[in-house]
């Protein structure tokens, strides 16, 4: 009997890159010597449907319906069906970077059939006007695909969506009834492709265990549909489910019907529960010794956590393994003009994690009671770089998205130094907290190592509410840190929240004014507003009365339990502000309408802001003297240095001057200095570069070196033009 394991991501997550969960698990199973296969069923189904043969089947199925019942948009697409069938393959290849010259045809306006999605073009022309031809073509190709998606959703499969499949069936589903009804009602149009692709994977892998990764509500239906097919056609194969959705939503699962489609559901980090499960299936462990696993026992759902072994250390889970995934077949789309969202959907990113969990773990709206947040475990920069190098060798891709809850500043510093030591040329981005530790020098170091963007939670730009959230930051602090990143050439995205309990209409408008000023002062480049949602695993959900919240439901059910409805104690209609906040932000991101009164964005009366119009500008210009700790690391990221002397005349006498010449990629500069400083610097700068064989020098050691060799006055040196010039050239204190 085959002992292979098949790891599956059900439809749908992202079009541009595989969700990393199966790659993480495969990497771990490699360390155990297990035979594993993996597949992203989402991209496989998309490529089946959005092909010449697939669209022919789409239009044939639609042709059996009454065209007069179609919406005008669907009727138009159907009438243009031959145009879609003939253009789909070239468009897919273009989005896979296989046919870049097609961009010229796409942009000339006569190549693509156009339906309702293209009606937005007139409104977005100004936003995309500066895009290069390749980017513009990919945006138009994305609209083309979305038109076809709208057609399929209206006429063939109401649950279809490119990154979400039957999401509303899984979101906040306290009852399993809607999902059960959908699963028992037969295969949908999309389901037929799903089970065909699933069958191919089963035939290739011949597994004894299939593991379904369900990160989002939009993957749940697809996972259970896979489970139904496996149970009906391969009853000897065991089926397990894990991932972000069960970790947050199914912790109090009681409905036995779920186990018509599954055998096991594991919670939290999957490595140890899966290890225990494999031992159980091999007869080496009894059922009662499973770890964090739901099973059906005597027709009842039972949660078993009898294993005494601890979880696998984050440093020992291995490097993610993407082998078996069609990395060159993913589609690089450009959906909207939000710069950070574009990073999500454009290009393929290797996903890695610097540290398990969150080092802060205090935010009252966050699921800090769950293991994936509360169990903080960083790994060394050397291990991270080892994984980076392995993934580059494996995938050929040098882009990395570190998916940390909040990357620790100290570890980011060490990672940047290690990247520079190994001379790795990569691009990377991650999530952060807007901590004061992100000095301008640290941001410059991160930029030098390849960091291109960071995203962080500004949430509600109100110090009162930030304190209530226990964010540990202030608006002024966020502004200064965002400025440090921006001035270093790193894009900054802010997560923005409205509707936090006790937030008043005044605070909402004041928050918008803070955001406006951040964009006006050019320290923020991207943002996204979302409405506060109360969850069962956050402090505010577990003890709502502390936050003056009236929890109104839903009543506990037998299936999912996470999102909680609630009433604001002040009675503010927060949802009323959503459209205006998002419209304002959309304009601010494109540098326009920054001088509009805030009332302009709302079709109802809003209070005038109480924030001074120069608040952020004043914060950014406050003097904050630098304090150098003895343990601070001194790093040189500047160019090659050459020491030269020159002669000049002063008061009729010929004198000798001393200069250091710095060569950069795009310029050369020179710095005048004293002779003793010049000879000392020529020696010390070589030791300050991040080199594989070099040990970092501390600020205290740097000062001692100056005093020993230079013989000058240290404090005078720190106040000299030479010191300031060196700092500008790339002498960093981090």
- Choose which CATH entry (3.80.30.20, 3.40.50.880, 3.40.228.10, 3.40.50.410) describes domain 349-620: 3.80.30.20
Averaged pLDDT for residues 287-301: 97
The alpha helices in 64-174, defined as continuous H runs, are 72-79, 81-95, 102-107, 121-128, 133-155, 167-170
pLDDT at 373 over 80: yes
Looking at 459-504, list the stretches that DSSP marks H as alpha helix, in order from N- to C-terminal side: 463-469, 475-487
Per the structure block, which two tokens stand in for 73?
A: 């948009």
pLDDT of residue 28: 97
Could you tell me which residue, 670 or 320, shows the higher pLDDT?
320
Domain ranges of the chain: 1-333, 349-620, 633-733
Greater confidence (471 vs 643) lies with 471
Q: Is the pLDDT of residue 396 over 60?
A: yes
pLDDT higher than 70, residue 514: yes
Q: For the ranges 43-47, 677-681, 697-701, which has the lowest average pLDDT?
A: 677-681
pLDDT per residue over 458-474, tens digit each? 999 899 999 999 999 99
What does the pLDDT look like over 422-447, one tens digit per residue?
Answer: 999 999 999 999 999 999 999 999 99
Side-chain half-sphere exposure of 464, counting CA atoms within 13 A:
11
Which of 505-514, 576-585, 671-680 is least confident?
671-680
Residue 120 pLDDT > 80: no
Round to whole Å and give the CA distance between 482 and 478.
6
Distance between CA atoms of residues 249 and 39, nearest Å: 24
Q: Specify burial of residue 270 (Cβ count, 10 A radius: 0-12, 13-18, 19+).
A: buried
pLDDT tens column, 174-225 = 899 999 999 999 999 999 999 999 999 999 999 999 999 999 999 999 999 9
pLDDT digits (tens, 9 = 90+) for 17-40: 999 999 999 999 999 999 999 999
538-590: pLDDT as tens digits: 999 999 988 888 877 787 888 988 888 888 888 788 999 999 999 999 999 98
Split at pLDDT 50, 70, 90, the class of 128 is low
Q: State how far the Cα of 230 lies from the Cα of 201, in Å rounded to an integer.
A: 11
Burial class (CB in 10 A: 0-12, 13-18, 19+), 389: middle
Q: 97-125: b or e for each residue (b if 16 or more CB lie within 10 Å)?
A: eeeeebbebbbeeebbbbbbbbeeeeeee
The per-residue pLDDT for 122 is 56
Low-confidence winner among 410-419, 612-621, 676-685 (lowest mean pLDDT): 676-685
How confident is the model at residue 125, as a pLDDT?
Answer: 56
Q: Is the pLDDT reported for residue 456 higher than 90?
A: yes
pLDDT for residue 75 is more than 90 = yes
Least confident of 518-532, 536-550, 639-653: 639-653
What SS3 class is residue 249?
A: helix
pLDDT at 1 over 50: no
pLDDT over threshold 80, residue 172: no
pLDDT score of 263 more than 70: yes
> Tell me, what DSSP letter sits at residue 706?
I
Mean pLDDT over each residue of the chain, to the nearest integer: 92
What is the mean pLDDT of the segment spanning 218-241? Answer: 97
Tokens matching residue 314:
């984050």
Burial label for 643, CB within 10 Å (0-12, 13-18, 19+), is middle
């Amino acid at each position: 009997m085959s002992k292979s394991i098949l790891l599956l991501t059900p439809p749908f997550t992202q079009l541009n890159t595989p969700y990393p969960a199966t790659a993480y698990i495969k990497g771990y199973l490699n360390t155990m010597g297990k035979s594993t296969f993996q597949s992203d069923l989402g991209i496989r189904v998309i490529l089946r449907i959005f092909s010449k043969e697939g669209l022919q089947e789409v239009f044939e199925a639609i042709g059996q319906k009454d065209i007069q019942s179609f919406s005008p948009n669907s009727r138009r697409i159907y009438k243009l069906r031959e145009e879609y069938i003939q253009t789909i393959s070239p468009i897919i290849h273009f989005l896979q970077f296989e046919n870049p010259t097609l961009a010229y045809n796409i942009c000339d306006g006569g190549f693509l059939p156009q339906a309702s999605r293209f009606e937005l073009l007139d409104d977005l022309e100004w936003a995309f006007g500066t895009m290069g031809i390749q980017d513009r073509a990919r945006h138009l190709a994305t609209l083309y695909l979305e038109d076809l998606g709208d057609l399929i959703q209206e006429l063939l499969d109401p649950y279809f969506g490119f990154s979400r499949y039957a999401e509303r069936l899984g979101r906040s589903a306290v009852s399993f009834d809607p999902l059960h009804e959908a699963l028992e009602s037969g295969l949908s149009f999309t389901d037929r492709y799903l089970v065909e692709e699933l069958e191919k994977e089963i035939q290739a892998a011949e597994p004894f265990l299939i593991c379904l990764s369900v990160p989002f509500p939009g993957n749940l239906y697809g996972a259970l549909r896979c489970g139904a097919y496996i149970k009906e056609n391969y009853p000897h194969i065991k089926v397990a489910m894990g991932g972000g959705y069960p970790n947050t939503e199914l912790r109090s699962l009681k409905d036995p019907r779920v186990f018509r489609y599954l055998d096991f559901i594991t919670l939290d980090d999957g490595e140890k529960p899966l290890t225990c499960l494999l031992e159980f299936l091999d007869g080496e462990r009894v059922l009662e010794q499973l770890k964090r696993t739901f099973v059906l026992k005597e027709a009842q759902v039972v949660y078993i956590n009898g294993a005494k072994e601890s979880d696998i250390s984050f440093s020992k889970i291995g490097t993610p393994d993407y082998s078996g995934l069609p990395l060159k077949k993913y589609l690089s789309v450009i959906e909207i003009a939000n710069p950070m969202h574009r990073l999500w959907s454009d290009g393929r990113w290797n996903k890695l994690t610097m540290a398990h969990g969150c080092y802060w773990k205090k935010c009252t709206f966050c699921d800090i009671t769950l293991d994936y947040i509360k169990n903080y475990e960083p790994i060394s920069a050397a291990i991270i770089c080892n994984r980076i190098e392995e993934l580059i060798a494996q995938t050929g891709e040098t882009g990395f998205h570190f998916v940390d809850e909040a990357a620790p500043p100290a570890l980011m510093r060490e990672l940047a130094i290690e990247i520079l030591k190994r001379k790795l040329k990569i691009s990377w981005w991650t999530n952060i907290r807007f901590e004061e530790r992100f000095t301008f020098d640290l941001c410059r170091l991160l930029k030098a190592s390849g960091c291109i963007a960071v995203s962080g939670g500004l949430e509600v730009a109100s110090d009162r509410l930030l304190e209530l959230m226990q964010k540990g930051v202030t608006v002024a602090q966020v502004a200064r840190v965002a400025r440090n990143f921006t001035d270093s050439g790193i894009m900054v995205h802010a997560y923005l929240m409205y509707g936090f309990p006790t937030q008043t209409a005044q605070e909402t408008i004041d928050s918008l004014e803070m955001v406006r000023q951040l964009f006006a002062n050019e320290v923020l480049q991207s943002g996204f507003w979302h409405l506060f949602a109360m969850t069962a695993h956050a402090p505010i959900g577990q003890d709502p009365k502390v936050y003056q919240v009236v929890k109104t439901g839903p009543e506990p059910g037998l299936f999912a339990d996470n999102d909680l409805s609630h009433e604001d104690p002040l009675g503010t209609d927060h949802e009323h502000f959503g459209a205006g906040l998002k419209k304002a932000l959309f304009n601010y991101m494109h540098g326009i309408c920054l001088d509009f009164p805030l009332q302009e964005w709302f079709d109802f009366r809003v209070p005038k802001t109480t924030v001074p119009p120069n608040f952020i500008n004043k914060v950014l210009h406050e003097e904050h003297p630098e304090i150098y700790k003895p343990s601070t690391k001194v790093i040189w990221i500047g160019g090659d240095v050459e020491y030269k002397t020159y002669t000049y005349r002063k008061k009729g006498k010929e004198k000798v001057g001393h200069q250091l010449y710095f060569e950069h990629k795009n310029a050369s500069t020179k710095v005048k200095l004293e002779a003793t400083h010049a000879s000392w610097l020529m020696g010390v700068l070589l030791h300050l570069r991040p080199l594989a064989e070099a040990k970092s020098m501390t600020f205290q050691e740097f000062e001692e070196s100056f005093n020993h060799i230079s013989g000058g006055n240290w404090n005078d040196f720190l106040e000299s033009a030479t010191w300031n010039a060196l700092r500008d050239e790339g002498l960093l204190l981090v």
